[in-house]
Amino acid sequence: MSIRRINRAVHRDLGYFFFGMCIIYGLSGIALNHRHHWNPNYIITQESHNLETVSRDTDDKDMALFFLEQISRSDEYRTSLRSGDDLRIFIRNGSITVNMDTGQGKLETVRPRPVFRQVNFLHYNTPRKLWTWFSDLYAASLIVLAFTGLFILKGKNGLGGRGKWLTGAGIVIPLVLLFYYLNG
């Protein structure tokens, strides 16, 4: 069996085996690169409400339930906390802050973002143990895939032809950007 044939077989089989990992790290990488634009793990929504007020002498829990009843969320009550003129009410998957004098309320709800939360969980290496070993194997395999990929084609489309220019650009661009960011 020739070296070229072994190279192709290794590249092909690692590519098939780690297809799922490529999708996981690709999606998660895009999400994490843009976390300053959006929260990749949670969908956070905010709503304003004008609520009827009640005497400040009312017990915090009773006041919280009174406010929550007005927005049909009294069954989600967890706890509450007074701070100055505001009552912060914690509910399942969020909270509402109500000004006790004006009745102005801001409801914030949080729910997991489908798919991205799960792939980010893996990308952050949260599971540890076996996942760490598997992701290390994936990282090492990416190095093997990079090198075996260089020698899949030969001729004008291979490393001796246009492949050398694409490989060079793929090396030079990250180095230029690294230099720019470190010295800019």
Q: Which helix (H) or strand (E) holds 91?
A: strand 86-91
Strand-pairing partners, residue 49, are 105
Q: Based on the structure, what is the number of domains in the chain?
A: 3
What confidence tens digit (pLDDT) does each residue in 69-86 have? 999 999 999 999 999 999
Could you tell me if 37 and 128 lie in one domain?
yes
**Which pTM value belongs to this model?**
0.76
Range of the domain at 98: 42-112
Could you tell me if 119 and 32 lie in one domain?
yes
Q: What is the pLDDT of residue 128?
A: 84
Could you tell me if 93 and 62 lie in one domain?
yes
Could you tell me if 107 and 168 lie in one domain?
no
Could you tell me if 129 and 96 lie in one domain?
no
As a whole number of Å, the CA-based R_g of the chain is 27
Do residues 116 and 31 make contact, with C-beta atoms less than 8 angstroms apart? yes
Could you tell me if 171 and 145 lie in one domain?
no
Domain boundary among 89, 112, 135: 112
Q: Return the DSSP state at 59.
A: -
Nearest CA to 52 among 5, 99, 11? 99
What confidence tens digit (pLDDT) does each residue in 100-146 have? 999 999 999 999 999 999 999 999 888 888 999 999 999 999 999 99
User: What number of CA atoms fall less than 13 Å from residue 53's CA on the CB side?
Assistant: 13
Could you tell me if 101 and 136 lie in one domain?
no
